[in-house]
Structure formats: structure tokens, C-alpha cells
């Protein structure tokens, strides 16, 4: 996945209410007419630099309609970054009249959306779907709700690492097979770039509220999960307060800001920075080091910003742990699902569209074009998949050291407060210690005294 940005409520409501008019077909979502015809609405994210979902949905729409005369698949792409997408989707789900039948769903939202009554369980349909056996167990677990039922089918997963420009590294006297072993190694490389190549941005780690989950997951959590602490104790089902790892992670942002190792503040707070990093700053040689996700090369290969030279120019490195402690590297993983909406008039047909969309052929198309780590065994082991993108082998290797966000219904609120903490540090409004204390206080308000425990 990649953002919380201010939205004008009136505009968003107008957009959300107008979404049902975006596709072809009936505005009465999923309802059969007198002749037995029906319309299945499909809501998904589409951005200017990420069109792979749209290409997949267009292909599956044509296939499904051809195989099911009388059924219309009404595609309702939502052109927005992540948090904008979540906001508009929530507004659509707020009324049965506008709720989609099939929903492109982030894995970390599944439990919250299932608990809110937006999603329908699909276990009965999965039991009759032969392809379900092709999905790895971890991918099956990604769609589970708090009640143990399944609310979505995984499209693929991802990992995160470090991209670095080998040409800039050569100018800075740094090795082109660079593999940092500590956080300080990363900062030292950024310092060397700043000294030798002052006209480029040395390092980017997302940290603004405007970038939403990109700041939490591609940014802060890539640091936090490399410490000896954690955000959430899954065994105790409690969130952690008073964490030194939390303070130390914010300390990296503090160092980047104070030493001028990152983008200037205007760029650092830009809600479109995630797109600019992949589509502009890296391809144009304006950024030396970027902590980012496995999907980025897909845009250079088959997306809207082709960059044929990327394989020669860009190096990839594992994100090190704080001081090189075991396991030596860390990563974060997420991914997206297709889910059946709770208000679907024909949930069986909505699931059939999901099964069509995520068969082997279509999953191969999506996983290759969107640079996804495959979760279907028959795709993951396909030689054509492994050969398609030279970055697949590297990013697949990070699965062994990866982490997943706490999939609790309150994670989204907590993530927003992580973003408040990082932004307050990069803007100089708070020290790491102050920002961590503000986060702890907000965390306790969200989950209650019984939902937290002090770091050991």
C-alpha cells in the first residue's frame, strides 16, 4: 500500500455521492431488475501513477460480463491517495444506497470495517472455491475479522527496503553494493551525499500527517520495528507506552531535520510526496536514498512513468536494525484484499466476481504489473513471475524479517497519532521525548488504561 490529508467535507460528500454515476450500469447497486438483470458495483483505488488496479478491474469486468449475460459490472474507481480513499469509501459505506458490492480493502482496515458492519463474511463461498487452496496460510489470515470469519481474498503482499542511487553514491565515494548494518550507517551515507553532492536530497523517510499511512508504515515503523521494542504486545493484547525504541525512532527524524539530510520542510509536508519520490525524485536523480516499498519498480516498468534505466541506476538494500541486533534487518508488509460489501444484494455473485478477478491468470497480471509479492503458490513459483521483475527476488527475501501492523480496530486512530508525533519532530514543534509523551497520552485515551502496558 501509502496518506491523512485535510479534506473539505462538503466536497468529499459530493464526490462520494457522485461515485455511483461513474460507471456504466444501474445506480441501484446490485439490485436485479424485472428482467433478472443485475449490477455489481466495484469500488477501488486509482491514482495517476498507479493504474494497475484499474487495468485488472477492466479486464475482469469484460470477462465476467461475457460469461454472465445480464450482469453489469459497474466500476467506481476512486482517484485518491490512501487516506483520501479510506475517507471516501467510508462515506460510500455509510448508506446502503451508495455502499459498493465489491470493495478494494487494505488489510489493516479489515477488522475495523468488518466490526463496523461494512463487510460480509465469505467463508461459505471460499469452501466451494477450488483456488482457495492455492493461497498461502499467511494470506488467508490477512482477511480474518475479530470473529474469526474471513472478509477478503488477498491480491498480493509487499515488503519495504531502501532504494539508493548508485551514480550519486559513486560521486559521494560510497560503495555501489552498499548494505548498511545500523541506523548510523544510513545517516552517515546521507551525510556523505550532502557533503559531496549538495544539489540532491540525501535521504527521505516519510514523516508527515499529510502522507498518512506512508508516514506510519514506510516511515516510522520501518525504524520502530528495528528496535528492541514494539508498538503492540499481541500476546497481552495491549499497546506499549514509555518505549525507548519509540523515542529513538523519532530521534532519527530529529537528526534528519536538524542536519538537513531530508527534503526541505515544504516538500516533507507535501501530501503528494510518495508519488513524487517514485515518479520524479528518484528517476530524475534528485534523491539519493529512499525508504520505500516493493511496488515502486512496477511503476518504472509498466506504470505511468517509464524509466528503462532504473535497474542500472538503483541499488536496493535491507533496512538495518538500530544497532545491528538480530535479525540484522527489518521490513514491513501489508497488502490489499477484495471483499464483499455487507449491503450487496447478491453477495454470491459479488464473490464470483472476486474469484474471477483473482484467478491465476489475473493474479499473475496484477502481481507482475503492480510489483506485488505473490500470495498464490501457483503464481509465486511460476518462472515467468520470478523473471518478470529483477526486484522480486530481493523484496521476496525480506519476508523472513518482515512485520505486520497490529490489525486492531483502533489501529487507524493510533497510526494518526504516530503521524502527529513524527510531524511535530520534523517541524521542530517537539523533541522526540515530548512527541513520544504526547503519543502515549493519546494512545491511552484511545484504548483506555486497561489497553496499555509500560515498556519492559
Predicted confidence band of residue 16 (pLDDT cuts 50, 70, 90): very low
244 membership: H or E segment, kind and range? helix 244-259
Whole-structure pTM value: 0.81
* pLDDT tens-digit readout, 396-447: 999 889 999 988 889 989 999 999 999 999 999 999 999 999 999 999 999 9
Same domain membership, residue 152 and residue 165? no
Predicted confidence band of residue 19 (pLDDT cuts 50, 70, 90): very low
Report whether 278 contacts 305 (CB < 8 A).
yes
What is the pLDDT at residue 236? 93
Same domain membership, residue 312 and residue 199? yes
Q: Report how many domains make up the chain.
A: 2
Same domain membership, residue 52 and residue 136? yes
Domain range spanning residue 440? 160-333+410-454
Q: Which of 384, 402, 420 is the last residue of a domain?
A: 402
Residue 359 lies in a domain: yes
Report whether 356 contacts 362 (CB < 8 A).
yes
Report whether 399 contacts 158 (CB < 8 A).
no
Predicted confidence band of residue 9 (pLDDT cuts 50, 70, 90): very low
Q: Is the pLDDT of residue 320 over 50?
A: yes
Measured at the alpha carbon of residue 403, what is the angle toward residues 401 and 405, in degrees to the nearest 5?
Answer: 170
Q: How far apart are CA 270 and CA 114, in angstroms?
A: 32
Same domain membership, residue 34 and residue 127? yes
With a CB cutoff of 8 Å and minimum separation 6, the contacts of 326 are none
What is the pLDDT at residue 274? 94
Q: How far apart are CA 50 and CA 395, in angstroms?
A: 19
Q: How many CB atoms lie within 10 A of CB 62?
A: 11
pLDDT, greater one: 141 or 131: 131
Q: How far apart are CA 426 and CA 207, in angstroms?
A: 7
pLDDT, greater one: 1 or 324: 324
Same domain membership, residue 108 and residue 68? yes
* pLDDT tens-digit readout, 387-409: 999 999 999 999 889 999 988 88
Q: Is the pLDDT of residue 191 over 50?
A: yes
Q: Phi and psi of 232, rounded to 5°?
A: -145, 130
Q: Which of 362, 386, 402 is the last residue of a domain?
A: 402
Predicted confidence band of residue 7 (pLDDT cuts 50, 70, 90): very low
Q: Is the pLDDT of residue 303 over 80?
A: no
Report whether 329 contacts 322 (CB < 8 A).
no
Sheet holding 232-233, edge to edge: 232-233, 238-241, 452-454
**Residue bearing cell 463487510:** 119
What is the mean predicted confidence (pLDDT) over 186-209? 98
DSSP 24-75: SS-SSTT---TTS-EEEEEEEEEBTTB-HHHHHHHHHHHHHHHHSTTEEEEE
What is the mean predicted confidence (pLDDT) over 68-72? 96
Residue 259 lies in a domain: yes
Amino acid at each position: 500500500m501509502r496518506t491523512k490529508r485535510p479534506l473539505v467535507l462538503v466536497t468529499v460528500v459530493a464526490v462520494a455521492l457522485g461515485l455511483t454515476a461513474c460507471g456504466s450500469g444501474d445506480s441501484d447497486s446490485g439490485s436485479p431488475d424485472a428482467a433478472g438483470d443485475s449490477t455489481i458495483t466495484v469500488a477501488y483505488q486509482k491514482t495517476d501513477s498507479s493504474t494497475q488496479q484499474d487495468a485488472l478491474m477492466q479486464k475482469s469486468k469484460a470477462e465476467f460480463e461475457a460469461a454472465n449475460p445480464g450482469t453489469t459490472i459497474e466500476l467506481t474507481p476512486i482517484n485518491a491517495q490512501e487516506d483520501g480513499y479510506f475517507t471516501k469509501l467510508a462515506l460510500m459505506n455509510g448508506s446502503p444506497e451508495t455502499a459498493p458490492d465489491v470493495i478494494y480493502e487494505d488489510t489493516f482496515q479489515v477488522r475495523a470495517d468488518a466490526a463496523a458492519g461494512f463487510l460480509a463474511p465469505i467463508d461459505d463461498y471460499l469452501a466451494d472455491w477450488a483456488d482457495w487452496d492455492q493461497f498461502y496460510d499467511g494470506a488467508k489470515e490477512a482477511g480474518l475479522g475479530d470473529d474469526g470469519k474471513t472478509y477478503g481474498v488477498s491480491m498480493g503482499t509487499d515488503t519495504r527496503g531502501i532504494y539508493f542511487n548508485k551514480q550519486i553514491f559513486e560521486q559521494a565515494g560510497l560503495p555501489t553494493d552498499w548494505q548498511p548494518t545500523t541506523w548510523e550507517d544510513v545517516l552517515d551515507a546521507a551525510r556523505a551525499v550532502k557533503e559531496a553532492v549538495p544539489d540532491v536530497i540525501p535521504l527521505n523517510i516519510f514523516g508527515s500527517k499529510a502522507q498518512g499511512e506512508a508516514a506510519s508504515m514506510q516511515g516510522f515503523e520501518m525504524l520502530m520495528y528495528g528496535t528492541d521494542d514494539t508498538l503492540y504486545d499481541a500476546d497481552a493484547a495491549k499497546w506499549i507506552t514509555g518505549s525507548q525504541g519509540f523515542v529513538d525512532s523519532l530521534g532519527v527524524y530529529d537528526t534528519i531535520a536538524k542536519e538537513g539530510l531530508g527534503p526541505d520542510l515544504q516538500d516533507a509536508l507535501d501530501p503528494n510526496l510518495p508519488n513524487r519520490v517514485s515518479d520524479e525524485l528518484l528517476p530524475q536523480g534528485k534523491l539519493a536514498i529512499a525508504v520505500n516499498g516493493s511496488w515502486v519498480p512496477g511503476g518504472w516498468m509498466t506504470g505511468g512513468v517509464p524509466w528503462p534505466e532504473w535497474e542500472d541506476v538503483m541499488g536496493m538494500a535491507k533496512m538495518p536494525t538500530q544497532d545491528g541486533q538480530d535479525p540484522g534487518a527489518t521490513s514491513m508488509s501489508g497488502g490489499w484484499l477484495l471483499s464483499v460489501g455487507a449491503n450487496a444484494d447478491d453477495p454470491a455473485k459479488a464473490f464470483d466476481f472476486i474469484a474471477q478477478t483473482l484467478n491465476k491468470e489475473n493474479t499473475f497480471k496484477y502481481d507482475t504489473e503492480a510489483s506485488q509479492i505473490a500470495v498464490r503458490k501457483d503464481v509465486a513459483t511460476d518462472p515467468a513471475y520470478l523473471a518478470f521483475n529483477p526486484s522480486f527476488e530481493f523484496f521476496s527475501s525480506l519476508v523472513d524479517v518482515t512485520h505486520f501492523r497490529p490489525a486492531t480496530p483502533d489501529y487507524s486512530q493510533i497510526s494518526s497519532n504516530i503521524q502527529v508525533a513524527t510531524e511535530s519532530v520534523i517541524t521542530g514543534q517537539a523533541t522526540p521525548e515530548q512527541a513520544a509523551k504526547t503519543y502515549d497520552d493519546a494512545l491511552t485515551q484511545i484504548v483506555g488504561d486497561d489497553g496499555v502496558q509500560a515498556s519492559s
